[in-house]
Amino acid sequence: MDLDGKVRLLADSARFDLCGSCFGQPSRKSNPQGGWIYPVSLPDGRVVKVLKILLSNDCVHDCFYCANRAGSPFRRTSLKAEELVALFLRLWQKGLVKGLFLSSAVSRDPTWTMNEMLKTVEMLRKKFHFRGYIHLKILPEATRDYIEEAVRLATRVSVNLEAPSPHYLSAIAPQKSFSRIMGLFSLLSDLRRKGLCAPAGITTQFVVGGSTEKDREILGTAFLLYRKFCLARVYYSAFQPVWGTPFSGRPAVSSWREVRLYQVDYLLRRYQFSLDEIYFSEDGNLPLDQDPKTLWALRHPEFFPVEVNKASLGDLLKVPGIGPLSARRIVEARKKGKIADISSLKKMGIRVKKALPFLLIDGKKPCDSGRKQLFLFC
């Protein structure tokens, strides 16, 4: 296979890994070399274009959901570190990408694969002085030396946990060890405490609906990871059957399940909600027909209406249609005077259609005519 063919295949094989992508399914674009370029959100809010690629799609493991598993009928290939570096530099020098997302199947053995991935990153950093964004996947079997080197060189690292408990993980990826991966998170957070860490932190990913796990269990484990190991982000990837895998006959999981998990993830990380406040259906999953914040509001009439001119930041964050940025804008605006009408709320970015049923403005219940009179009270 020529180099362009290898790049096309390995970039396509990387599409199942969502770690580091923008919310939900990333909008990827192809590049002239046949690879894929993805937008990635950085912790400082910037979005940069990265080349997302695998070093190899030739895996010795047999995860039941994965296209790259041993024995699947897809074409196999690997790149050498030198080839990957040359490809990346070409794209970077043309201004097509600003960063690299490098992952890999476990090819030959974990030591060989990790070694080649680190060689790639080391060449970029030390020989070609590339200072931009590099997201590097760490294989669960990596030794401590490799892990230390990875966090020294990469901007962000990730280890995919895939499932919320040992039981669920063994049902979808029998060769992966839940305790080993948790041990890796523990080591990464120890290194972080000692000042040795990738600046954009650690991320992970769950395959949602790969087994019979419930949303409550996924979110419970996700928030243990946030709390205990200070993960920067958890990504949720709705299971999609892949032809040629043992799970090819299973139904795809609704992307709405993924969306609801992300919404709760945001509520817990950025809206001061706790997991106890999240409403789950009796089966332990999030209802798909209503967003979790509106559901909480509808189930807590005693909390509303909230007075925009007096409510704390935490209370404003509980109102549907008000996000962290617009809540802060309300608090700032109040320092200059009363908020008197709906048009002021609109200017602050509040989704008034959602928020108005839960608000008072200066003691009165507002209603939006939706046309010219934006400051009616009813």
Shortest separation between residue 244's beta carbon and ligand SF4, angstroms: 12
Nearer to ligand SF4, 72 or 285 (CB): 72
| Angle of the 255-270 helix axis to the 292-299 helix axis, nearest 10 | 70
Q: How far is the CB of 66 from ligand SF4 (least distance, A)?
A: 3
Q: Which stretch binds ligand SF4 (CB under 6 A): 57-65, 257-265, 321-329, 346-354?
A: 57-65
Alpha carbons 142 and 146: distance in angstroms, whole number:
6
Q: In this structure, are residues 218 and 236 in contact, taking their beta carbons and an 8 Å threshold?
A: yes
Measured CA to CA, the distance from residue 213 to residue 364 in angstroms comes to 45
137 binds ligand SF4 (CB under 6 A): no
* Closer residue to ligand SF4 in complex, CB, 176/260: 176
- In angstroms, give the least distance from the CB of 111 to ligand SF4: 15
| Continuous H helices in the chain | 3-13, 81-93, 110-122, 144-153, 166-172, 178-193, 215-229, 255-270, 292-299, 313-317, 324-336, 342-347, 352-355
What is the per-residue burial (b if ≥16 Cβ within 10 Å, else e) of 277-308?
bbebeeeebbeeeebbbbbbbeeeeeebbbeb
For ligand SF4, which is the closer residue by CB, 66 or 100?
Answer: 66
Between 68 and 203, name the residue whose CB sits nearer to ligand SF4.
Answer: 68
Residue 167 CB, shortest distance to ligand SF4, in Å, is: 18
105 binds ligand SF4 per the rule CB under 6 A: yes
Cα–Cα distance list, 86 to 3, 81, 91, 134, 162 (Å): 11, 9, 9, 15, 32
| CA pair distance 286, 261, nearest whole angstrom | 8
At 364, is the secondary structure helix, strand, or coil?
A: strand
Binders of ligand SF4: how many residues, by CB under 6 A?
Answer: 9
Least distance (Å) between residue 276 CB and ligand SF4: 33
Report the 3 state secondary structure along 230-248.
CCCEEEEEECCCCCCCCCC
- Kindly state the smallest distance separating residue 138's Cβ from ligand SF4, in Å: 12
Q: State how beta strands 233-238 and 133-137 pair.
A: unpaired
69 is a contact residue toward ligand SF4 (CB under 6 A): yes
Which helix (H) or strand (E) covers residue 136, if one does? Answer: strand 133-137
Considering the complex, state which of residue 59 and residue 118 has its C-beta at the smaller distance from ligand SF4. Answer: 59
x/- string (CB under 6 A) for ligand SF4, residues 17-56? Answer: ----------------------------------------
Q: Is 77 in the site for ligand SF4 (CB under 6 A)?
A: no
Q: Least distance (Å) from ligand SF4 to the CB of residue 236?
A: 16
Kindly state the tokens that stand for 66: 């994965």
**Of 21, 31, 68, 78, which one interacts with ligand SF4 (CB under 6 A)?**
68
Q: How far is the CB of 72 from ligand SF4 (least distance, A)?
A: 8
- 151-180 residues in contact with ligand SF4 (CB under 6 A) are 173
Q: Is 106 in the site for ligand SF4 (CB under 6 A)?
A: yes
How many helices (H) and strands (E) the chain has is answered by: 13, 10
Position 260, amino acid: R
| The one among 52, 61, 135, 293 contacting ligand SF4 by CB under 6 A | 61
Stretch that binds ligand SF4, among 63-71, 220-228, 329-337, 366-374 (CB under 6 A): 63-71
Name the residues that contact ligand SF4, by CB under 6 A. Answer: 59, 61, 63, 66, 68-69, 105-106, 173
